[in-house]
């Protein structure tokens, strides 16, 4: 991916850091909109100097279209293009239909779906003008089939898959691919805290998920679009 420029929303989170590191190691320049300075510092601290030199972190709210428009403009000004977008921002909430407050529904939709919609809207004009690109959305294995018990999360992530499939058809003629990656339970610090007694033998590493994302951003996946890949 040498010479490629990728944006990774959620790039300072557990999965996002793995994706960002994988892409940098593959030769790409990576830009991340971040909200938590401590997470950004942790990411930069784990990178070798030569990788850190190709990282562009910018404070920006991914659920604010104006902020993301400015962010993408800053990336384009520095690099001249955006070849790839990974929508890795997300949130989780438990609860059934009756017990989940409407505010939590709105938060799940905003974090998991609206953030992806805004990021796609802001990068697509440049990708179309540049003759192509790659978009990868992070959904969830829990939506195939949909699971109960965390219904707002499940519905929002199912919407991400629908967005992926519909957008893939809209931009196919512009040589832009749009795919979704559906991880099962990932081995992250947050999941370990939430499920301390769980059997982690079947959990997926964030590095494994990042490898699939990197494949979908590469030329090897040029003929793959509208797909939902479970990991």
d(CA 42, CA 59): 15
Answer yes or no: 153 catalytic: yes
Cβ neighbours for 33, distance < 8 A, ≥ 6 positions apart:
7, 9, 11, 58, 59, 60, 61, 62, 67, 68, 71
Cis peptide before 224 (omega within 30 of 0): no
Beta strands in 64-186 (DSSP E): 84-87, 133-138, 176-182
d(CA 186, CA 192): 9
- Set 30, 118, 153, 168: catalytic member: 153
Q: Tell me the three-class secondary structure of 27-82, residue by residue.
A: CCEEEEEECCHHHHHHHHHHCCHHHHCCEEEEECCCCCHHHHHHHHHHHHHHHCCC
Active-site annotation, residues:
153
């Amino acid at each position: 991916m040498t010479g490629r420029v990728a944006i990774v929303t959620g790039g300072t989170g557990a999965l996002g850091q793995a994706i960002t590191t994988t892409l940098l190691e593959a030769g790409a320049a990576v830009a991340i909109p971040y909200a938590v300075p401590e997470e950004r510092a942790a990411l930069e601290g784990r990178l070798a100097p030569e990788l850190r030199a190709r990282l562009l972190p910018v404070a920006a709210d991914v659920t604010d279209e104006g902020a993301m428009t400015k962010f993408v403009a800053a990336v384009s000004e520095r690099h001249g293009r955006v070849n790839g977008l990974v929508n890795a921002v997300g949130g989780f909430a438990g609860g059934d239909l009756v017990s989940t407050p409407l505010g939590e529904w709105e938060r799940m939709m905003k974090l998991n779906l609206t953030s992806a919609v805004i990021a796609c809207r802001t990068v697509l004009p440049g990708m179309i003008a540049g003759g192509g690109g790659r978009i990868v959305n992070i959904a969830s294995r829990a939506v195939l089939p949909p699971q109960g018990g965390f219904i707002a999360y499940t519905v929002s992530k199912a919407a991400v898959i629908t967005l992926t499939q519909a957008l893939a058809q809209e931009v196919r003629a512009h040589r832009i691919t749009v795919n979704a990656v559906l991880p099962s339970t990932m081995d992250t610090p947050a999941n370990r805290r939430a499920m301390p007694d769980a059997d982690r033998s079947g959990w997926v590493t964030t590095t494994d998920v990042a490898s699939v994302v990197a494949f979908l951003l590469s030329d090897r996946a040029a003929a793959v679009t509208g797909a939902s890949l479970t990991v």
